[in-house]
Amino acid sequence: MRTTRLGGTAVPVSELALGCAALGNLFHPVSDEAARATLDAAWDAGIRTFDTAPHYGLGLSERRLGAALSDRPRDTYTLSTKVGRLLVPNPDGGAGDDLANGFAVPAIHRRVWDFSADGVLRSLEASLQRLGVDRVDVALLHDPDDHAEQALREAYPALERLRAEGVIGAIGVGMNQSALPARFVRETDIDVVLLAGRYTLLEQDGLTELLPEAAARGRSVVTGGVFNSGLLTAPRPGATYDYAPAPQPVLDRALRLLAVCERHGVPLRAAALRLPFGHPAVASVLTGARSPHEVHDTVEQLTRPIPDALWDELRAEGLLAPHVPVPAAAAAPIGKAAPVGEAVAPKDPS
């Protein structure tokens, strides 16, 4: 699997990265055995970039990821985690669950927003303990939507110092919007933005400002949420978009995308995976998985050839704007591809 480097750093990323929110029991439980098998399948497929966060399963994702990587040489993979939410013991002892926050785990801890410099250091120290490693390669400010000024004034300088000291290889921000990350690109020296759900086959909000700014300044973008929380795997009534039932106009657009892809014999999810690579700022696409089968399917879809005629028809149908860059034809697929319309890819959290 091809690799590139983030921004001007020496940190490598594989073109496909594994997002590990699902392995923190996102929405539904995943057994320890299934989580380990999923991570092993990703490794065997050539994936060498893994993204997690304290938020995912109240630390469960970090613990599982660290355990699965513990027997791999530390310099053979890139490990990314996030700061901004501290985990503190729950006063009620964890009598309930964490499903209100999307994770099927006991609520032994609760999250406390903290984008202070001290909060960054405490968060990273706790993550290192859960991961069982002595360093992470990438640290991202996680969802500072309502904490922008503190993140810029306190959290970012703390990460910058850690990068200057060689403690962290690359720093950045991970969000579900593009406007604030574009501000970080303009006003700071971050290396990477993890942009979830805003540069996809369905919508290209990230192209308005963020991606051009990143390309002009030599920064990298990792695109997550390329299936728009599942809608672009199997658009149908009841499908989710931004983790809620898709509004009818959004569903209708997804169904039109599906129809065009089917006319060209290309699974919708394959086109969704490939589109971001058309932009020069995009270094990697990050997707989630909760089983080896989902990993295998994602890798296979990424390698499917996509004819230029598909992109041309999407433009002709008004489903893709003329200014949206499209990737060159993909390499020949590896192994047997799943039939068109068969959707097995998971909701891809970030």
Please give the DSSP secondary-structure letter assigned to residue 222: E
18: enclosing H helix or E strand: strand 16-19
What 3-state class would DSSP assign to 93?
coil
For the chain, helix, strand, coil in percent to 5 are 40, 20, 40
Instruction: Determine whether 241 is an active site residue.
Output: no
Active-site pick, 56, 156, 199, 241:
56
Length of the chain: 350
Q: How far apart are CA 346 and CA 119, in angstroms?
A: 32
Contact assessment for residue 7 and residue 218, using Cβ atoms and an 8 Å cutoff: yes
Give the integer Cα–Cα distance in Å for 320 and 335. 30
Backbone angles phi, psi at 171, to 5 degrees: -130, 155
| Opening angle at CA 36, ends 33 and 37, nearest 5 | 85
Beta bridge partners of 192: 172, 220
Alpha-carbon torsion 133, 110, 17, 145, what sign? negative
Q: Tokens 């991970």 sit at which residue?
A: 174
What lies within 8 Å, CB to CB, of 110 at 6+ separation is 87, 88, 89, 90
Residues with active-site annotation: 56
